Amino acid sequence: MREELFRLLQNHAYRFREEPFTLASGRKSRHYFNCKEITLHPERLELLCKYLVEKHIPDSGLSGKESYGGLTMGADPICYGISLEFRHQGRNVFPLIVRKQAKDHGTKNLVEGAVNAVKTCVVVDDVVTTGASTLQVVKSLRDAGLEVTACICIVDREEGGRDAIEAEGIRVFPIFKKSEFGHVE
């Protein structure tokens, strides 16, 4: 499954060009990963989440966690897919959505979902670059009273994000690293 996921990423989500892209972090890079080409395609998302639940999560020692949550919108389909794959196994594992900022009406919560039904959460991200958005999620989840000690992501861009996240006591388990895609900058 991992090899098929790699091929799908390479063919649909990864771009390399001489003229650098501007990333969400503001950094420039000739490597671009648009993982929404995986997460917003039903067949590709199904394969990703099947791989995560059947192989990546168990191999990372995270099988007992009660919820998976990340920053809306990039992590949403992954968290929902993980939850559904666990449901196929007869387990309720809850997806959590973390907003960038609280709404000014209603409950004004930053974290949505079954927050009161769980104690542990694994942070989910599509691509880790600087780690800033992942750490924003960690803070919101911890502020909501959840234990957060791990992060899974599709791609670690190997640009310091993993180190920044791990400095906060969060183990990072990427499926892929940028260096696996060739092209050295």
Is 22 annotated as ligand-binding? no
Is 119 annotated as ligand-binding? no
Q: At 107, is the pLDDT very low, low, confident or very high (cuts 50, 70, 90)? A: low
Is 127 annotated as ligand-binding? yes
Is 100 annotated as ligand-binding? yes
Euclidean distance between CA atoms 121 and 94, whole angstroms = 9
Is 41 annotated as ligand-binding? no
Dihedral (CA of 35, 45, 2, 90) sign: positive
- The pTM of this model reads 0.91
Residue 105: the pLDDT is 59
Is 156 annotated as ligand-binding? no
Residue 38: the pLDDT is 97
Is 129 annotated as ligand-binding? yes
φ, ψ of residue 169 to 5 degrees: the values are 85, 20
Euclidean distance between CA atoms 168 and 48, whole angstroms = 27
Which range (4-8, 21-25, 43-47, 149-153) has the least confidence? Answer: 21-25
Q: How many helices (H) and strands (E) does the chain have?
A: 7, 8
Is 128 annotated as ligand-binding? yes
In the chain, what are the domains?
A: 2-179 (3.40.50.2020)
Is 126 annotated as ligand-binding? yes
